[in-house]
Every structure is written in structure tokens, then in C-alpha cells.
Chain A
Amino acid sequence: MIRKRDRNQLAARIAQDIPDGSYVNLGIGMPKLVGNYISAEREICVHSENGVLGIGPAPLPGQEDFDLINASKDPVTLVPGGCFFHHADSFAMMRGGHIDIGVLGAFQVSVHGDLANWHTNAPDAVPAVGGAMDLALGAKKVYVMMDHFTKGGVCKIVHDCSYPITGLRCVSRIYTDLAVIDVAVDGLYVREIVENLSLEELQRISGVPMRLARET
């Protein structure tokens, strides 16, 4: 039986790959969970687009300050050494290549690393992009955190994105409930597969070519 990673296991897995000393931005939705698994021994500085570096744990009930929020508009806390800045500076950090790792959710990722995560093109959808395009383009590494399949069973790793693009060739690595996959210039390299799932089977159900990653 295939042992899929649940969201929290996936968040913990991504947190393992964030080195001590990194500046990271955790996108809205699922990527927020990654913050729960960054252990205290590692000093990792969490950035949020709305003008804060050094986000700490969630506040205790009753201690919320609604002037201190993250990109999802949840109340957060500030760690010692944290600071505030205005929006143009915040996006200079993102677009200017100063953020080491951005973790983003996705509707689709292509085999070339194109990312689609902002708009479904559905006729009644209200388009909303937020800071996703800036982070996709600007972070030194973009890690995508997503389910391997849609609720309807369609693989979210695709030859070419059918949803509108957020950024071209910007994804470095894909973390799904089934696998950890690097995106290289010449295609996808599987670094890790969950228990009882073979590379051949993963490729078959995904419908896109993948190779096993070389040992690094």
C-alpha cells in the first residue's frame, strides 16, 4: 500500500531542506504549514510580503495583534531581531533575489518548471495574483508544495501548463504527497518516492517523463 504524505508530513519534509541561516518566504495556503516544522536549533528568518522579516510562532489565544499579520492575514509574532518595512522594500527583497527559498502552492507545474498558481480561467473566477509572480521570479529557489493529483485525479505535473502562467521556468523543486522531484533544464529528476511506489509506476500515473536523480 502506498504511504502518501499528508500535508503536515509534507510540510515537515520541506522544512528539513531549509538550511540554517536561510531567508524564506512561505506562501499562502499549504506552505504556511512549513513554519510549524522549522526547529528552534536552526535560525531561519521568515519573510512575509506585507513588510516583515522574522516571523515567529502563532500568538497565544487572546494575544493576537491585528497590526502584526502575515500574507494570509493571520496574526503572527515577531522574533527578536525581526523588523518591519514598507511594501516597495518588501518586494525589492523578493524580486531582487534576496530571498533564498520561496515555498509556493500550485495548480500546475510543467516539466520545464513553469508555474501556474494564480488563476483558473474559470468564467466566474475573480482573478487575484498577489505576490506570487514576484516570489516565483525573484526567490533564489522556488519550492512547490502541492498534492500530486487534483481532487478529480488529474496529475498536476504536466508537459505544459493549461492554466495561466505565474512564472516561466522558475520552479526548482516539487514536493508532493508522492515524491520529491527536482526540475532541471533537461527535465524532472526524482529524488524521493514514498514507500511502495516505483519510479515506473510514478511516471505512469503522472504521464510525464522522469528520471532518478543522481546522488548529490
Chain B
Amino acid sequence: MINKIVDTIESAVAGIEDGGVIMISGFGSAGQPTELIDALIVQGARDLTIVNNNAGNGEAGIAALLKARRVRKMICSFPRQSDSYVFDALYRAGEIELEVVPQGNLAERIRAAGAGIGAFYTPTGYGTLLAAGKETRRIDGRDYMLDYPIHADFALIKAEAADRWGNLIYRKTARNFGPIMATAAKCCVAQVKRVVKLGDLDPESIVTPGLFVQRVVQIAPAVEAAIGAGSLV
């Protein structure tokens, strides 16, 4: 029998080791698995490399993980935001490493890792500061640079619903990096609002096949709202 549902958020993040590479879904706060990140803070792993589009907003989620000094390096496309002050301060103090990756290359590097691709030529970034040190090649008259996959130890993602096989559906633009990050990590952990009976998800609508998902934890909307409001730590 296949059952990927875990009962507690502690068991959802068990086994994340110091120095690990952790992908975290989300674009700003849409699709960010805040409760899994909070659980990771409690779990205590440090010296982490975090892969996300941004570098935290306000003081919740990734910003809280940064504030707890658990992150050695951020790999992201857009760290600078109106409310990214936690990251900005660490960066300016030289206390965190930053790898800025054009957003499409970030997505493709994650996709490539999941799809077993060794490297790929991308036109994005060619001729810019972000091409420093990269191999280049002209193909059919267009210039490209070589980029490599990003593999992760864990992916922490947020989805709308799952069944016990780990099949996932998402909600609106909260989908963003979830489906590709699920493919690129040794262990993908999905936090979901609803767990449904096997067979209840429309097979035509499943976005992430359960094969890519190792653990599912349900975060009841009430708890989610309470944590969002800051009443639970």
C-alpha cells in the first residue's frame, strides 16, 4: 500500500540535515509553504542553501528562516522587494551568500534537474554580468550560455489538495514553482489544505503525479489562518 500522508508537521520535515539544499515553492507569499518553513525552523537544520524565487517578505516564512540564521546561501531571481528587509540586512552585512539567477534559468535549472538533463544552453543572461565564467556557444546564429541543473535534498511545496498517493492539484498562481521543484528533490514534502480519497482527484486535472512526492501533510485552513495571524508559534 502506498500512503504518503504523514500525521504531523514535525515528521514532514524530519531528516533535513545541516548543509542541505532546500527548494521552497512560492512567488512572494503565493504558494509559499509557511507552516513547513516554521516546522523547519523548529527542526533546527542550519547552514542551508535555499532555492526560491525571492528572499523572503516581511518576517514570516523564508524571512523567519533567514532571521533565525539558518541559511548560508540563497539562490533566487529577485531578492530585492519592498519588504525584504531581513534578507537585505544580512546581505549588506556580508552574512549570507547570494546567487542571482534569471527567473527563467532558475525554473529551467530546476526542471532540468528533475528531468535528468546534464546541462543546457540558454540565451537568457548571455552577454550580461550573470554570464561571468559560463561557457558560451553560438548555435544557428544565436548566442547561448551553458547552465546547469539545481538538485535539492528536499523540496517544501504548497498545494491545494492531495490523495494518499501524493497526487497534487494547486490553486491559481500559487502553483508557480511547486510542480518543478517536486521533480528536482530527493524528497518532496507537500503541505496541502485538503486530503481527498484516492480516486477523487480528476486524473485529467492532476498537475503533479504522486511519483514525484514523498510526503504529504495536511494543514487545516483554520490552523493556517491562525498561524497566518501570528497567534501560534
State the A residues within 8 Å of B (CB). 48-52, 65-69, 73, 78, 84-88, 90-91, 94-95, 119, 124-134, 137-138, 164-168
- In contact, B30 and A130 (Cβ under 8 angstroms): no
Determine if A133 and B175 form an interchain contact, defined as CB atoms under 8 angstroms apart.
no
Encoded as 1 (CB less than 8 Å from any A CB) or 0, chain B from 97 to 110 comes to: 01011111101101
Binds A, one of B8-16, B41-49, B64-72, B122-130: B122-130
Q: With A119-B129, A166-B128 as given contacts, are A134 and B104 in contact (CB-CB < 8 Å)?
A: yes
CB distance A128 to B100 under 8 Å? yes
Question: Chain B nearest CB: distance from A115 CB in Å?
Answer: 10
Indicate with 1 or 0, residue by residue over B22-48, a CB within 8 angstroms of chain A CB atoms: 000001111100000000000000000
In addition to A95-B104, A125-B80, A133-B124, 8 A-B residue pairs with Cβ atoms within 8 Å of each other are A52-B173, A69-B27, A73-B27, A84-B170, A129-B130, A133-B102, A165-B127, A166-B128
Contact between B174 and A67, CB atoms less than 8 A apart: yes
- Cβ of A101 to closest chain B Cβ, rounded Å: 17
Q: Which residues of B contact A124 (CB under 8 A)?
A: 92
Residues in A whose Cβ lies below 8 Å from that of B101: 129
Which residues in B have their C-beta under 8 angstroms from that of A67? 30-31, 171-174
Partner of B108, one of A78, A91, A133: A91
Q: Does B207 make an interface contact (CB < 8 A)?
A: yes
**Which of B78, B84, B130, B176 is in CB contact (< 8 Å) with A51?**
B176
Asked if B103 contacts A126 (CB within 8 A), the reply is: no
The smallest C-beta distance from A155 to any residue of chain B, in angstroms, reads 22
Q: Is the CB of B108 within 8 A of A128?
A: no
Among B104, B172, B178, the most chain A Cβ lie within 10 Å of the Cβ of B104
Chain B residue contacts of A87, Cβ below 8 A: 27, 53, 103, 107, 110, 176-177, 180
Residue among A124, A134, A166 with max Cβ neighbours from chain B (10 Å) = A134
Minimal Cβ-Cβ distance residue in B for A135:
B104
A165 to B7, CA, bound (A): 49
B91 within 8 A of A: yes
Q: Are B80 and A86 in contact (CB under 8 A)?
A: no
Q: Are A86 and B108 in contact, with the CB atoms below 8 A?
A: no
B-side contacts of A132, CB under 8 Å: 102
If the complex has contacts A73-B28, A87-B107, A164-B129, are A126 and B175 also in contact, measured as CB distance less than 8 A? no
Question: Is B77's CB within 8 Å of the partner chain A?
Answer: yes
9 interchain residue pairs of minimum CB distance: A91-B104, A134-B104, A128-B80, A130-B78, A87-B107, A88-B111, A131-B103, A86-B179, A133-B102
Are B103 and A69 touching (Cβ within 8 A)? no
B79 at the interface (CB under 8 A from A): yes
Asked whether, in the complex, the Cβ of B128 is within 8 Å of the Cβ of A131, the reply is no
Asked if B78 and A129 sit within 8 Å, CB to CB, the answer is yes
Contact status A131-B30, CB under 8 Å: no
Chain B residues with CB under 8 A of A138: 104, 123-124
* Interface-centre pick from A49, A68, A88, A166 (highest chain B CB count, 10 A): A88
A82 to B54, CA, bound (A): 25
Note all chain A residues with C-beta closer than 8 A to B81.
73, 128
Residues of A within 8 A of B29 (CB): 66, 73
Which of A69, A84, A87 has the largest count of B CB atoms less than 10 A from its CB?
A: A87
| Residue in B92, B126, B172 with the greatest tally of chain A CB atoms within 10 Å | B172
Asked whether, in the complex, the Cβ of A95 is within 8 Å of the Cβ of B122, the reply is yes
CB-CB < 8 A to B103: which residues of A? 49, 87, 91, 129-131, 134
